[in-house]
């Protein structure tokens, strides 16, 4: 195995609060351990189009509290092709980069796995996504901040829902996973969470209505994951209009509001621990792994496991939402 002297860092996919804290930890831990660091702008786009800069400790000063990513992120169709990846590899070699740390979600780590397999590049991934939908880890960087943003928004929506005696559908992110909707419902005291993991088991909207939520309450808030399986908030509101016209339904789509903001302490700590662990992993000869956290301990998760959508919802929490909503 070639000796690693220079490590490249990139952020890819949707931005997540805490990515900057991870960039900072990777950079400074690498420098502390004698490595050189290169910052790659705009994710895989920067590899293909050679947007690579030297990074020093000063490059990451005063960023731990910032949302988004100072390295930027962008889609890159070219990287999905063998020709594009060959160009990326050539640029990486020309810049003297021996290994990569990739911070991102499912698509980003899938790209890392393919690139590593084709060119035998040592790559360590960090789970940077608000959806918390990666396998092998209890939490992802950005999830806690997004969850707190959702809770703050729902607390405010409840004021108007109560005033007007309405049913509010609040759509949150979570294309493949219902963690934000489910735990957002628990934390905000919402009456229900409609999530993709349950859509094949029951008609969640009918179950909500049939439970007679209006018997003890004159308003209700339902958190809905944006996944097409659930129909999204707009689809559910349309169903209410057609099937249960006696209810006055309203929709709030939180959208990219969930991605922004200063990361919580939990996300800053998680990102810092994972960023440092990425350098330890590369120093120990690890490759094709994501840094995960299980029961508070950092673990190495193969890319194949991280991206196989093995993350599962706790059905006890689904029942708990129902119990606490009576």
Q: Residue ranges of the domains in the chain?
A: 6-142+263-306, 144-259
pLDDT for 218: 66
Architecture of domain 6-142+263-306: 3-Layer(aba) Sandwich (3.40)
The runs of H, that is alpha helices, within 165-302 are: 179-188, 204-210, 232-243, 265-283
pLDDT at 211 > cutoff 90 = no
Mean pLDDT of the 20-34 span: 98
User: Across residues 15-31, what is the average pLDDT?
Assistant: 98
The CATH classification of domain 144-259, taken from the options 3.40.50.460, 3.30.465.10, 3.30.2290.10, 3.40.640.10: 3.40.50.460
pLDDT at 176 over 90: no
Q: What is the DSSP string of 65-85?
A: T--S-TT-----GGGGSHHHH
pLDDT at residue number 207? 77
Tell me what pLDDT residue 163 has.
80
Q: Which of 78-92, 228-242, 265-279, 293-307 has the lowest mean pLDDT?
A: 228-242
- Contact residues for 133 (Cβ-Cβ < 8 A; gap 6+): 105, 106, 140, 174, 175, 176, 177, 179, 309, 311
Q: Does residue 201 have a pLDDT over 70? A: no
pLDDT value at residue 187:
96
What is d(CA 243, CA 262) in angstroms, rounded to the nearest whole number?
A: 41
Q: Which residues contact 321 (CB under 8 A, 6 or more apart)?
A: 182, 185, 186, 190, 191, 192, 193
Q: 298 or 245: which carries more pLDDT confidence? A: 298
C-alpha distances in Å from residue 192, one per residue of 86, 206, 212: 48, 12, 12
Choose the catalytic residue: 131, 133, 179, 267: 131
Mean pLDDT of 268-283: 98
Instruction: Examine the pLDDT at 182 and tell me if it is beyond 70.
Output: yes
Q: How far from chain centre, in Å, is Cα 22?
A: 14
pLDDT number for residue 202: 64
- 3-state per-residue secondary structure call for the chain: CCCCCEEEEEECCCCCCCHHHHHHHHHHHHHHCCCEEEEECCCHHHHHCCCEEEECHHHHCCCCCCCCCCCCCCCCHHHHCHHHHHHHHHHHHHCCCCEEEEEECHHHHHHHHHHHHHHCCCEEEEEECCCCCCCCCCCCECHHHHHHHHHHHHHHHHHHHHHHCCEEEEEECCCCCCHHHHHHHHHHCCCEEECHHHCCCCCHHHHHHHCCCCCCCCCEEEEEECCHHHCHHHHHHHHHHHHCCCCCEEEEECHHHHHCCCCCHHHHHHHHHHHHHHHHHHHCCCCCEEEEEECCEEEEEEHHHHCCCCCCCCHHHHHHHHHHCC
Using one digit for the tens of pLDDT, what is the confidence trace for 104-117? Answer: 999 999 999 999 99
Higher pLDDT, 132 or 199: 132
Summarize the confidence of residues 40-50 as an average pLDDT. Answer: 97
Average pLDDT over residues 193-209: 77
Tokens 């606490």 appear where?
324
Mean pLDDT of 155-173: 87
**Whether 131 is catalytic:** yes
C-alpha span between 26 and 6 (Å, rounded) = 12
Mean pLDDT, residues 278-288 taken together = 96
What is the rounded average pLDDT of the residues 198-205? 70
What number is the average pLDDT over the span 46-66?
Answer: 97
The answer to whether residues 103 and 19 touch, using CB atoms and an 8 Å cutoff, is yes
Task: Judge whether residue 214 has pLDDT over 60.
Answer: no
Q: Is the pLDDT of residue 247 over 90?
A: no
Average pLDDT score over the chain: 92
> Is the predicted pLDDT of residue 87 greater than 70, yes or no?
yes
- Which pLDDT score is estimated for 215? 57
Cα angle: 44, vertex 137, 273; to 5 degrees:
75
pLDDT attached to residue 159: 87
Angle, alpha carbons 24-26-28 (nearest 5°): 65
pLDDT computed for residue 277 by the predictor? 98
Q: Is the pLDDT of residue 135 over 70?
A: yes
Taking residues 258-270, report their average pLDDT: 97
Question: Do 270 and 297 touch, CB atoms closer than 8 A?
Answer: no
3-state class (DSSP) for residue 270: helix
Quick check: do 6-142+263-306 and 144-259 share a fold?
yes
Residue 209: is its pLDDT beyond 80? Answer: no
What is the Cα–Cα distance from 79 to 223, expressed in whole angstroms? Answer: 36
Q: Which of 143-147, 165-169, 183-187 has the lowest mean pLDDT?
A: 165-169
């Amino acid at each position: 195995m070639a000796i690693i002297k220079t490590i490249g860092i990139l952020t890819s996919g949707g931005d997540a609060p805490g990515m900057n804290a991870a960039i900072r930890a990777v950079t400074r831990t690498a420098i502390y351990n004698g490595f050189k660091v290169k910052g790659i702008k705009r994710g895989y786009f920067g590899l293909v189009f050679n947007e690579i800069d030297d990074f020093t400790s000063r490059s990451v000063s005063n960023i731990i509290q910032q949302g988004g990513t100072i390295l930027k992120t962008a889609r890159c169709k070219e990287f999905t092709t063998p020709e594009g990846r060959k160009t990326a590899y050539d640029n990486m070699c020309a810049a003297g980069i021996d290994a990569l740390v990739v911070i991102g979600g499912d698509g980003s780590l899938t790209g890392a796995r393919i690139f590593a397999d084709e060119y035998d590049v040592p790559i360590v991934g960090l789970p940077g996504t608000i959806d918390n939908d990666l396998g092998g880890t209890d939490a992802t960087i950005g999830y806690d901040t997004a969850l707190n943003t959702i809770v703050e928004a729902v607390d405010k929506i409840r004021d108007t829902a109560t005033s007007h005696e309405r049913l509010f559908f609040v759509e949150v992110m979570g294309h493949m996973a219902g963690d934000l909707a489910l735990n957002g419902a628990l934390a905000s005291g919402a009456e229900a969470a409609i999530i993709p993991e349950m859509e094949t088991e029951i008609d969640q909207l009918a179950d909500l209505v049939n439970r007679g939520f209006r018997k003890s309450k004159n308003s209700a808030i339902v958190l809905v994951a944006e996944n097409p399986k659930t129909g999204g908030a707009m689809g559910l509101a349309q169903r209410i209009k057609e099937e249960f016209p006696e209810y006055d339904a309203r929709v709030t789509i939180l959208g990219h509001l969930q991605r922004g903001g200063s990361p919580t302490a939990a996300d800053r700590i998680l990102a810092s621990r994972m960023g440092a662990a990425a350098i330890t992993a590369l120093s120990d000869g690890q490759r094709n792994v994501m840094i995960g956290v299980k029961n508070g301990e950092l673990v190495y998760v193969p890319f194949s496991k991280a991206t196989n959508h093995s993350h599962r919802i706790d059905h006890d929490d689904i029942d708990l939402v129902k119990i606490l909503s009576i």
